[in-house]
Structure 1
Amino acid sequence: MNVQIMVIVHGKEHAHLIKILSEKTHALGGKWLNSKITHIDDYFAGLIKIEIESKSADKLIDQFKGLNINVETAKLDRIEQKKANQFILSIDAKDRFGLVNDISEVLGENDIKIESMECHRVGGADIGGIMFTSEFKILVADDFNKGELIESLQTISTDLVVDLQTPA
């Protein structure tokens, strides 16, 4: 019988780590159903949803732990995927303390789920200081009002530039 597990891995990057993780999964008959892997400097973090035979799940986790990385796991109940409306929300503004908090608060107040987010701070004399730039993939309800969200976000700061698009 197959089970689904969520595996969280993180630590200092090693050469070919993602390749090694996928090879170990494949060797035990498992398959990656979904994954998100990211790097910041030489540190990585990954979230991997794996389907594997029940008898092989513990062996796979032990093999992952043998790679000198941090590993956490959770067994998943099979859940039917609900169709959701996805948008890409881009926000640029002059950087300031608490900006991510303010944005996530507005999204929460509008019952919007953040599927993923990526934020950067970019500086330079030619742009007048430090700029905050971000991209959020968000999931919204069928009755979502695009205009209301943009208005709510623009109350955070007068220099906030908001762009909301459907994925290509």
Structure 2
Amino acid sequence: MNHLIISFITADRPGIVDSLSNIIGKHQGNWQKSSLHQMSGIFAGVVEIVCPNSSTSALSKELADLENFKIQIEQATSVASVTESQLILELTANDRAGIVQEISSTIHSNGGNLLKLVSTQESAPHFGHELFKAKVTIAANDADVDNMISALENLADDLMVDISR
């Protein structure tokens, strides 16, 4: 079995997920994980699938031939991992340019690996200015977790960090 990671972007319209899932099913693929989003009239996503070795080429070709899609297909390889903790951080701060860079740099420089980042911008209730909110999943060596959390909390006075394991 092959693990394929498919990333795509296309103009939003009804039936995109149906079209993708039909092609994947036609080639005996199994949809494993995905993250799909509509933003400003564009639909984008990343999908992990597993498919038989004998179907990989035909599946990849049919996906690559989808009209009006920008698509990239990568075959994933298994990587042995070090014993790590997985943390979910919920971050809230006043929005400002560079906040994602500050957060990602702090995670990286303290031994963390950013696995997932989902962010939004919304109006602060009763204040009218914009808030940055993010849910971040990271992996880190157990020995690095406390220092990383302290470094994140010290980025700015207005940055709130809620942690779950």
Q: What TM-score results when the alignment is normalised by the length of structure 1?
A: 0.84
2:53 is matched with 54
For the residues of structure 1 that align with 2:3 and 2:31, how far apart are their CA atoms? 10
Give SS of 1:20's match: helix
1:33 is matched with 32
For the residues of structure 1 that align with 2:36 and 2:52, how far apart are their CA atoms? 23
2:22 is matched with 23
**Fraction of identical pairs, as percent:** 20
For the residues of structure 2 that align with 1:37 and 1:83, how far apart are their CA atoms? 29
1:4 is matched with 3
- Structure 1 residue 13 displacement after superposition: 1.8
Q: Which moved more, 1:123-132 or 1:5-14?
A: 123-132
> What letter matches 1:16 in structure 2?
G
> What letter matches 2:123 in structure 1?
G
1:140 is matched with 140
Quick check: 2:92–2:133 contact (8 Å CA) kept in 1?
Answer: yes
- Residue 125 and residue 136 in structure 1: after superposition, are their counterparts in 2 closer, same or farther (change >3 A)? closer
Q: Which moved more, 1:115-124 or 1:105-114?
A: 115-124
For the residues of structure 1 that align with 2:90 and 2:125, how far apart are their CA atoms? 23
Give SS of 1:143's match: helix
Task: Give matches, 1:101-120, under 5 Å.
Answer: 101-120=101-120
Task: Give matches, 1:115-130, under 5 Å.
Answer: 115-123=115-123, 126-130=126-130
For the residues of structure 1 that align with 2:111 and 2:71, how far apart are their CA atoms? 31
For the residues of structure 2 that align with 1:118 and 1:91, how far apart are their CA atoms? 10
Quick check: 1:4–1:78 contact (8 Å CA) kept in 2?
Answer: no
- Structure 1 residue 101 displacement after superposition: 0.8
Q: Which moved more, 1:119-128 or 1:13-22?
A: 119-128
- Structure 1 residue 109 displacement after superposition: 0.7
For the residues of structure 2 that align with 1:34 and 1:160, how far apart are their CA atoms? 30
What is the total number of aligned residue pairs between the two structures?
Answer: 164
CA RMSD between the two structures: 2.2
- Residue 77 and residue 134 in structure 1: after superposition, are their counterparts in 2 closer, same or farther (change >3 A)? closer
- Residue 130 and residue 85 in structure 1: after superposition, are their counterparts in 2 closer, same or farther (change >3 A)? same
For the residues of structure 1 that align with 2:78 and 2:106, how far apart are their CA atoms? 31
- Residue 151 and residue 12 in structure 1: after superposition, are their counterparts in 2 closer, same or farther (change >3 A)? same
- Structure 1 residue 128 displacement after superposition: 4.6
Q: What TM-score results when the alignment is normalised by the length of structure 2?
A: 0.86
Give SS of 1:6's match: strand
